[in-house]
A = this chain, B = another copy of it.
Amino acid sequence: MADRSKTRRRGGGRAGNAARRMTASIDQMPWNPPINHDRPTEPLGPEGVQAIHDGAMRILEDIGIEFLNEEALGLFKQAGCKVTGTNVRMGRDWVMEMLGHAPAQFDITPRNPDRKITIGGKHILFGNVSSPPNYFDLEIGKKVAGSRAQCADLLRLTQFFNCIHFAGGYPVEPVDIHASVRHLDVVYDKMTLTDKVAHAYSLGKERVEDVMEMVKIASGLTEEAFAAKPHMYTNINSTSPLKHDVPMIDGCLRCVRRGQAVVVTPFTLAGAMAPVTMSGAVTLSIAEALSAIALFQYVAPGAACVIGTFTSNVDMKSGAPAFGTPEYMRATQMTGQMARFYGLPMRASGVCAANVPDGQAMWETSNSLWSAVQSGTNVVYHAAGWLEGGLIASPEKFVMDCEVLQMIQRYMEPAVIATTPDDIAVAAIKEVGPNGHFFGIDHTQERYETAFYQPFASDWRNFEAWEAAGGVWTAERAHRIFNDIIHNFEAPPMDVAVKDALADFVARRKAEGGAPTDF
């Protein structure tokens, strides 16, 4: 079922009818998570890698990281680390020994096994925007607090686009649902509207345990089968500088003990919560991430861990975060080198500071996405739909970003760079000669339909034809595509019994009061 929205152009066959029902409006590429064969861009020489590594180790050994979580402090003590109050100092030998347990690559299998994703190696995966508190679309025309309906629409986009390989956090925070039960409703929507790998927020034990239960129910798994391998994941941020809070570490410990994956992503904003120098901000980020990953490997050797980067810089004028900057790109590339140094899969993001889905939004997002490619990133969070430094989710931006993501997928297809004799095509060149063209020859006709990337949001007509069709700018075209997708959306199949079991679970947990909201 993974290719149910496979395109007419590329697909047809058994999936053709479903594709036609699912979208009358656009052709898209089939589900096929890409492999990034490009050699990463590596701004650091070996001595630069060593300098960041040594800096991170000195932070861990001499300065220490604050762990506010009591259980973590006990574990660190047990492991022989120096624990002073909430400060934990750990030797580099121990840290490197723990990192040695971490797998360089692992799979996560959601309820639809065809949507299994592989994290690590040369794999690169894209996920939807996660966690903006606000929503903006061209019809509303202003920034509004997120709702469950908007969140569900963005989950529909997450499911619809084959270039979105996993479902991140809430694509917009539905503030019309009480925080105590929000996770239950949104994860119910996520489980029923998508069949892709899902995420749990580490915001208290109830939230993360509830999501694990719902993933188990949706996948029809016993506890043993669930815990045997990753079926979902959590993502945490440190509280930079130098601190991990209570619920985030708690959520990760719960996940790794039940075999689920964790992503540790410090948010080191150079000049604010991190040094003003990019390598300094990266060094702090590495230290914060490794301290947590070392703990998780101590608790569950071989646990599926990803090192995340969210290093950017502030605006020098206002102190506000900036995204998709040259400094952001270099920090991401440097972190990629460090992730390979430690043998860990890596997460980065698709980000921008722009407030609306315009030119700035796309140059900033393009910068961040290409730096993910260049850095050998395995997991790209927020790859579609992000605006205003993550404070706004936008369906138009989601659609526009998916065009860029599809182009990156196509860019990575080996066919584009093939150099067999048929590709070099000297015979075709001879056949056409100096006075012909290549439109009609067999060499072209045999390859024409799949030779080039076919866009769905870009308008490649000339100005006159574009103008005659209404002169519609990109964001407005994206809005129309968004509406078409939502109106034609069909949820992925789910057994009625499973759906009922999920609903029963939600009802029961709501009756129990959901999760506490007092932290």
Binding site for B on A (CB under 8 A): 37-39, 41-44, 47-48, 51-52, 54-55, 58-59, 62-63, 65-66, 87, 134, 136, 142-143, 241-243, 270-280, 283-284, 313-320, 322, 325-327, 329-330, 334, 353-367, 370, 374, 388-389, 391-392, 400, 403-404, 407-408, 410-411, 413, 416-426, 428-430, 432-434, 436-439, 443-444, 447-449, 451-454, 457-464, 466-467, 471, 473-475, 478
Q: Are B353 and A458 in contact (CB under 8 A)?
A: yes
- Given A425-B275, A429-B59, A460-B318, is A363 in contact with B280 using a C-beta cutoff of 8 Å? no
Copies in the complex: 2
Given A316-B451, A359-B361, A425-B283: A51 in contact with B461 (beta carbons within 8 A): no
The residue of chain B having its C-beta at the shortest distance from the C-beta of A475 within the complex is B359
Contact A430 B63 (CB under 8 A): yes
Q: How far is the CA of A315 from the CA of B276 in the complex (A)?
A: 45
Question: A283: which B residues are within 8 A, CB to CB?
Answer: 424-426, 429
Besides A276-B443, A388-B462, A388-B463, 6 more A-B contacts (Cβ < 8 Å) are A51-B421, A55-B424, A62-B430, A278-B423, A360-B400, A360-B457
A458 near B360 with CB under 8 A, answer: yes
Determine whether the beta carbon of B41 is less than 8 Å from that of A271.
Answer: no
Contact of A366 among B51, B367, B413, B461 (CB under 8 A): B367
- Contact in complex: B41, A41 (CB < 8 Å): yes
**CB-based contact A418/B41 at 8 Å:** no
Between A and B, 20 residue pairs with Cβ closer than 8 Å are: A38-B41, A54-B424, A58-B426, A62-B426, A272-B439, A279-B419, A280-B425, A280-B429, A313-B452, A317-B454, A318-B461, A326-B407, A326-B413, A355-B459, A356-B473, A358-B475, A360-B400, A363-B363, A366-B367, A392-B463
Given the known inter-chain contacts A426-B283, A457-B360, please indicate yes or no for A417 contacting B330, CB distance below 8 A. Answer: yes
The 7 closest A-B pairs by CB, nearest first: A280-B425, A366-B366, A275-B425, A326-B411, A359-B474, A55-B424, A242-B434
Nearest-neighbor residue (CB-CB) of A439 within chain B = B272
Find chain B residues with CB under 8 A from A410 CB: 326-327
**Chain B residue at smallest Cβ distance from A454:** B316
Min C-beta distance of A27 to chain B, whole Å: 10
**In the assembly, what is the distance between CA of A423 and CA of B391, in Å?**
30
CB proximity of A48 to chain B, nearest CB, Å: 4
| Docked complex Cα distance between A260 and B325 (Å) | 38
Set of chain B residues within 8 Å of A358, measured between Cβ atoms: 358-359, 473-475
Closest B residue to A38 by beta carbon equals: B41
**Chain B minimum-CB-distance residue to A58:** B426
Q: Which of B313, B420, B452 contacts A271 (CB 8 A)?
A: B452
Q: How far is the CB of A81 from chain B (nearest CB, A)?
A: 16
Give complex CA distance A462, B319 in Å: 11
- A12 to B: closest C-beta gap in Å: 16
Is the CB–CB distance between A458 and B364 below 8 Å? yes
Report yes or no: B460 in contact with A353, Cβ–Cβ below 8 A: yes
A341 to chain B, nearest CB (A): 13
- When distances are taken between beta carbons in the complex, the residues of chain B under 8 Å from A388 are 462-463
Chain B residues with CB below 8 A from A317, complex form? 454, 460
User: Are A411 and B316 neighbours in the complex by a CB distance under 8 Å?
Assistant: no
- Is B41 a contact partner of A270 (Cβ separation < 8 A)? no
Residues of B within 8 A of A329 (CB): 411
- Whether the pair B58, A330 counts as a contact (CB closer than 8 A) is no
Min CB distance A312 to B, Å, is 9
Q: How far is the CA of A313 from the CA of B334 in the complex (A)?
A: 34
* Chain B hits for A54, CB < 8 A: 424
Question: In the complex, which residue of chain B has the Cβ closest to the Cβ of A407?
Answer: B326
In the complex the two chains form, is A66's CB within 8 Å of B434's CB?
yes
Q: Which residues of B contact A404 (CB under 8 A)?
A: 363
- Does the CB pair A391–B313 fall under 8 Å? no
Q: Are B316 and A270 in contact (CB under 8 A)?
A: no
Min CB distance A308 to B, Å, is 19
- CB distance B419 to A271 under 8 Å? no
Of all chain B residues, the one with the shortest Cβ separation from A430 is B63
Are A462 and B391 in contact, with the CB atoms below 8 A? yes
Q: How far is the CB of A454 from chain B (nearest CB, A)?
A: 6
Asked if residues B272 and A429 are in contact (CB atoms below 8 Å), the reply is: no
Contact B276 A241 (CB under 8 A): no
Q: From A68, which residue of chain B is reached at the shortest CB distance?
A: B434
- Please measure, in the bound complex, the distance between the C-alpha atom of A181 and the C-alpha atom of B51, giving whole angstroms: 62
CA distance A315 to B443 in the complex (A): 17
Taking the closest CB of chain B, its distance from the CB of A409, in whole angstroms, is: 8
In the assembled complex, how far is the CB of residue A224 from the closest CB belonging to chain B, in whole angstroms?
Answer: 40
Residues from chain B with Cβ under 8 Å of A459 in the complex: 353-355, 360
Least CB distance, A36 to chain B, in whole angstroms: 11
Q: Specify which of A313, A314, A358, A421 lies most central, judged by the most chain B CB atoms within 10 Å of its CB.
A: A358
CB distance from A389 to the nearest CB of B (A): 8
